[in-house]
Amino acid sequence: MPPAALPQPTVPLAAPSTLAAPQTPTAPSPLPPRPATRSSGRVVVLASGAGSLLGALLAAHGDPAFGGHVVGVVTDRPDAGALGRAEAAGVARATVALADFPDRAAWDRALAAAVGAFAPDLVVSAGFMRLVGPAFLAAFGGRVINTHPALLPAFPGAHAVRDALAYGVKVTGCSVIVVDEGVDSGPLLAQVVVPVSDDDDEAVLHERIKVAERALIVQVVGRVLREGLAVDGRRAAFGGR
């Protein structure tokens, strides 16, 4: 079925200004997390494939203790399995295919607009096989996280599991990073170690990593929604500043 219409975020009207009696000065309030990731707990997931990571988030977001909800799923492929998962869960979805635009810059602007229509607090790149560009990062920089099937900075890129096996590592794992303009180069937020067996092939090892990856992304997204996310140069941490 065609993607559901994107919700149009509403902007509350400002109340008329009124005169107020002078008040006693108070100490300044603590600064909120930067970026503010706790205002409403709205999550948008970017996906390109079957959506197993999305499925883990959808299974978790019904729990009030999780801290938020997946409010939109955006893919770059009209046949992505993630769209079916979103439809089954009653979550709005959209597709922004690169082939529909004259260049990557136009696609990047359209992707930013599609995600922005959901007014997210946090954007999760979960098996999204495209690099976002300047327009997207200008809109959401510092509040986009990505999961990767290796212990970054080792083995970045699309063939991380294959590369780790070829190198002969004894352990690998998965990482969650804050997305920047590079390829899997953003600040590290969380990692989990996964053992490598001598008889592993790429498919077997990747499936073992995916199990850990699904658990990690649920844990990380929940903590960001509940506690906030702070980024300072190469350091990313849960909580405020």
Query: Which whole-number Å values give the CA distances from 77 to 48, 73, 82, 134, 233, in the listed order?
Result: 6, 12, 10, 21, 33
| 3-class DSSP state of 98 | helix
Cα separation of 177 and 186, whole Å? 6
Token couple for 226 = 């509940």
Question: Phi and psi for 33 in degrees, rounded to 5?
Answer: -60, 150
- Tokens coding 215: 């658990």
CA dihedral sign, ordered 156, 130, 139, 88 = negative
- Dmax (CA) for the chain in angstroms is 75
Q: Which of 61, 148, 159, 206 is catalytic?
A: 148
To the query of whether residue 61 is one of the catalytic residues in this protein, the response is: no
The helices-and-strands tally (H runs, E runs) of the chain is 6, 9
Residues with a catalytic annotation lie at: 148
